[in-house]
Amino acid sequence: EAQVTQNPRYLITVTGKKLTVTCSQNMNHEYMSWYRQDPGLGLRQIYYSMNVEVTDKGDVPEGYKVSRKEKRNFPLILESPSPNQTSLYFCASSLSTPWREQYFGPGTRLTVT
Amino acid sequence: GENVEQHPSTLSVQEGDSAVIKCTYSDSASNYFPWYKQELGKRPQLIIDIRSNVGEKKDQRIAVTLNKTAKHFSLHITETQPEDSAVYFCAASSPNTGFQKLVFGTGTRLLVSP
């Protein structure tokens, strides 16, 4: 079954404690992206990747890091989380540009206290 | 960079009525316009998309129209059903804003009453 998976699905953490949210896809997609969703703001792109070792900033990259060492995985790293990073995070992958047939993961709800 | 505005923020219709959601974009180079549906507690799912070389696209009860001159595009849902109730997001992608970044509108909550 074609899918995008994320872990964990729910996470409560404290300010400053480094965390990683994993994302994996089994569709051999080259393009992957991370979004955050906040009420009234829609979905905002954090980082995206066009292929292994190729990443670029989206609209809200501050406070986040990503890596793409393998085609299937695209982890999101928060090295020093802050309360304003409390949000619902989605990973997504796409067959091709410009983001056609984009599939989203189930989401990770992060709370930073 | 690209900016996408979406209206209305909420839309209530009776079952069987039509619903129209409108989006405007700022970057004239934008060339891809998808629409996503997000049911409560679920992930966004692509429902229809259109490229800049096409003016209209239909898929059963849903259609998208694009006016490049005015820089706006719309989602049309006919014969609405309660299961159409969800939040709908438009988005635009432009090659000018880095490598095909995708910018979303703020969403429209559609409520279809039986």
The mean pLDDT of chain B is: 93
Confidence band, pLDDT 50/70/90 cuts, at residue B21: very high
In chain B, residues with a C-beta closer than 8 Å to the C-beta of A44 are 104
Are the beta carbons of A99 and B107 separated by less than 8 Å? no
3-state secondary structure of B26: coil
**Is A24 in contact with A93 (CB distance < 8 Å)?**
no
Query: Residues of A with CB below 8 A from B46's CB?
Result: 101-103
Name the residue among B44, B89, B100 with its Cβ closest to that of A98: B100
CB distance B101–A41 less than 8 Å? no
Please answer whether residues A26 and A3 qualify as being in contact, where contact means their C-beta atoms are separated by less than 8 angstroms: yes
What is residue B98's predicted lDDT score, i.e. its pLDDT?
56
A32-45: pLDDT as tens digits: 999 999 988 899 99
Across the range A54-70, mean pLDDT stands at 94
- pLDDT of A22 > 90? The answer is yes
**CB-based contact A97 B34, cutoff 8 Å:** no
Residues A77-113: tens digit of each pLDDT: 999 999 999 999 999 999 876 667 789 999 999 999 9
**In the predicted model, is pLDDT for residue A74 greater than 90?**
yes
- pLDDT tens digits for range B59-114: 999 999 999 999 999 999 999 999 999 999 999 988 765 567 789 999 999 999 99
Q: Which residues of B touch A (CB under 8 A)?
A: 1, 6, 31-32, 34, 43-46, 49, 89, 91, 93, 95, 98-107
Torsional sign, CA A108, A109, A111, B4: positive
